[in-house]
Structure 1
Amino acid sequence: MGSILLNAIAFHFDPGQSFLTIPQNRSKSVQHPDPTLVLFLGPFDPSGSSNLPADAVTCARLGGHALSVVTAVHVQDTASIEDICAMTPEFIDDQARCLLEDMNVQAIKAGPLYSTDAVRVLAQIAADYSQLPLVLQLGTPLETGSADDSDAEEVLAAVFELLLPQADLVVAEHGLLAHWHNDGLLPTIENGTPALALRQFGAQWVLTTGTPIRPGQGAHLLQGPEQATFNWLWQPPSTRLSDSDGPLACAATLELARGLPMPQAVENALKKAAHLAASTFQPGMGYRIIDRSIHE
């Protein structure tokens, strides 16, 4: 028979006791810094492809800890949103303040809001916690036919009036801003881009994603105070992704929470978001989704 060598654990016998004792590992555990706390406000997407579920996983992947305030619940698959159940403004406010009064939140990120009351609640929270960086990821105010266009325009007008003046960073697709401009929802700025209209509403910095500069090539354009402008080349993806700006907005929020100045925070976020978006999959019949699972 082969011999068995027991060398993993040293057993000690105490004659005064009737049992074996195993020595404790006396090595000190490695102390890691606490993760960055970010408060996310947005709808719950049950497909996990965007908004709160996706932001929570992205945040954890990038070394943060997500606190979530549910502003609405979607009925949704990977192709489209079929219905939206909006939370009451009182419930949104209670969720946010319960978390803000308990933990040392370091930044706030907000996604789509579906009512003027929800916008007003966030505006008051942002005013009460003005020391925290506020990142707005703009999208279509209503992505389903559950309300008419006038309601959507009122929500958008409330966002422009109440939230943009408090926003440290606004993230929006160039195509979306161009669409709003063509519909007359954004004022025309002489010799300017639609993003500059957001700056005129009071946003400190505006990051416009996917701005076309020549056929087949575009750039992410960051515009800020005193006509500060930064741009990074961007290649359109071969397939359209669900919530392609989500990881970027999330990463930028984390970088701002860690105290980085805006241009550096956005540059770091672009690199991290590009790394995340390099892996995608298609679990359903709709859009491809960014694979946020951890690969070692």
Structure 2
Amino acid sequence: MGVDHARPPNVQRLRRRTAAAAEPPAVHHKIFPPVSTSPPPLALIFGPFDPSGSSNLPADAVTCAQLGGHALGVLTAIHVQDTASIEAIQPVAPELIDDQARCLLEDMAVGAMKAGPLYTVESVSTIAQIVADYSTVPFVLHLGSLPDEEMLAADHDAEDLVGSLFELLLPQADVVIADHNLITLWANHGFLSAHGGGSPAEIVLEYQAKWALITGAPLRPGQRSYQLLGADKQTRQWPWAPPPERVMGTEGLLGCVVALELARGLDVPQAVEEAIHHTATLAGRSFQPGMGHRLINRSIS
């Protein structure tokens, strides 16, 4: 009689369970959070390439991914920089900005756009035309400090650039984000000669922006705030604290998250509140990769 080599079913099940237990556990879920089955909101970012990863592109793309969104990028300039400073800026030709933006906008359902910083009048004009052609897409404009004069294009000065930003982009912006002291400085230097006075938020609204989000606005002696002011005089305020010492890119981060939350479908006050919360959380996580400023730690841990 031949020998039956088949194992009893219960032994086979036991061996399968033993083999399964011996396999190393899957670790992917410990590295990446659960992936949503619904499409992520799409935010189109116009900005320079920052090779240090401190702000703008690609940092905004990482921020969007961390918060459940997807960033599309249009380069407006290339920086030569490290964590200490920007050494040179090479603007991208406006034709390339236009071609790349329209290529993306014609292909995908972009939920919001964010721009800034911008360094030439031509790039401002190009983006203004794109925003006008896609006027139903929420647009966030981040106004930041200008680079040193020698880094700007030879045929443009700071006043020309600021004037183009206020005249061409502010009237189309759903939200303008700027520091209180920066708007005050530009007004005192005569860059905003058309304004009739008032607070920085009121100056921004004079140029027909729908909402102004001012950081570092004086609230009372020793206290400052985020001030959100709408065209219909709706006002919201949240406590503001200076960014942690030597941490780069907090205002750019704020603009990126506002755009992402608008792409998600929130209204402006809700989007700003969410962005302030996320910015405070991320700004509290920084690291020192080089000899210059600290950078926001956008990594997933």
Taking structure 2 as the reference length, what is the TM-score of the superposition? 0.85
Q: Could you tell which deviates more after superposition, 144-153 or 267-276?
A: 144-153
| RMSD of equivalent CA atoms | 2.1
Contact 1:166 1:203 in 2 (8 A): yes
Residue equivalent to 2:208: 202
Say whether 1:220 aligns with 2:226.
yes
Residue equivalent to 1:16: none
- 1:95 is displaced (CA, Å) by 0.8
Contact 2:139 2:173 in 1 (8 A): yes
Change (3 A) 1:163 1:8: farther
Q: Distance in 2 between matches of 1:35 and 1:219?
A: 31
Residue equivalent to 1:46: 51
Helix, strand or coil: the match of 2:247? coil
Residue equivalent to 2:66: 61
Q: Distance in 1 between matches of 2:236 and 2:48?
A: 31
Residue equivalent to 1:14: none
Q: Distance in 2 between matches of 1:197 and 1:211?
A: 13
Helix, strand or coil: the match of 2:269? helix
- 1:38 is displaced (CA, Å) by 0.7
The residue type equivalent to 1:208 in the other structure is I
Measured against aligned partners, the alpha-carbon deviations of 1:231-257 in whole angstroms (never above 9, x if no partner) come to: 101122341321111221111111111
Higher helix proportion, which one?
A: 2
Helix, strand or coil: the match of 1:230? strand
Say whether 1:79 aligns with 2:84.
yes
Percent identity of paired positions between Structure 1 and Structure 2: 55
Q: Distance in 2 between matches of 1:86 and 1:8?
A: 62
Q: Distance in 1 between matches of 2:172 and 2:80?
A: 31
- 1:292 is displaced (CA, Å) by 0.5
**Structure 2 counterparts to residues 118-197 of structure 1, below 5 A:** 118-143=123-148, 145-147=150-152, 151-187=157-193, 189-190=196-197, 192-197=198-203
Say whether 1:233 aligns with 2:239.
yes
Q: Could you tell which deviates more after superposition, 39-48 or 258-267?
A: 258-267
Q: Distance in 2 between matches of 1:229 and 1:280?
A: 31
- 1:160 is displaced (CA, Å) by 0.7
Measured against aligned partners, the alpha-carbon deviations of 1:162-182 in whole angstroms (never above 9, x if no partner) come to: 111100000111121121122
Gapped regions of structure 2 (runs ≥ 5)? 1-13, 21-33
Contact 2:244 2:284 in 1 (8 A): no
Q: 2:105 aligns with which of 100, 105, 116?
A: 100
Helix, strand or coil: the match of 2:150? coil
- 1:152 is displaced (CA, Å) by 2.1
- 1:279 is displaced (CA, Å) by 0.5
Contact 1:37 1:105 in 2 (8 A): yes
Q: Could you tell which deviates more after superposition, 143-152 or 37-46?
A: 143-152
Change (3 A) 1:149 1:138: farther
Contact 1:189 1:196 in 2 (8 A): no
The residue type equivalent to 1:124 in the other structure is Q
Q: Distance in 1 between matches of 2:231 and 2:18?
A: 62
Residue equivalent to 1:17: none
Q: Distance in 2 between matches of 1:208 and 1:252?
A: 13
- 1:31 is displaced (CA, Å) by 6.4
Q: Distance in 2 between matches of 1:238 and 1:272?
A: 15
- The total of aligned residue pairs comes to 273
Contact 2:49 2:75 in 1 (8 A): yes
Q: 1:6 aligns with which of 5, 12, 16?
A: 16
The residue type equivalent to 2:157 in the other structure is D
Say whether 1:246 aligns with 2:252.
yes
Contact 1:281 1:290 in 2 (8 A): yes
Stretches (4+) displaced over 6 A: none
Helix, strand or coil: the match of 1:227? coil
Helix, strand or coil: the match of 1:245? helix
Q: Distance in 2 between matches of 1:241 and 1:140?
A: 16
Measured against aligned partners, the alpha-carbon deviations of 1:137-157 in whole angstroms (never above 9, x if no partner) come to: 111343462236952221111
Q: Distance in 1 between matches of 2:129 and 2:156?
A: 24
Contact 1:216 1:235 in 2 (8 A): no
Q: Distance in 2 between matches of 1:108 and 1:213?
A: 30
Residue equivalent to 1:18: none
Change (3 A) 1:204 1:8: farther
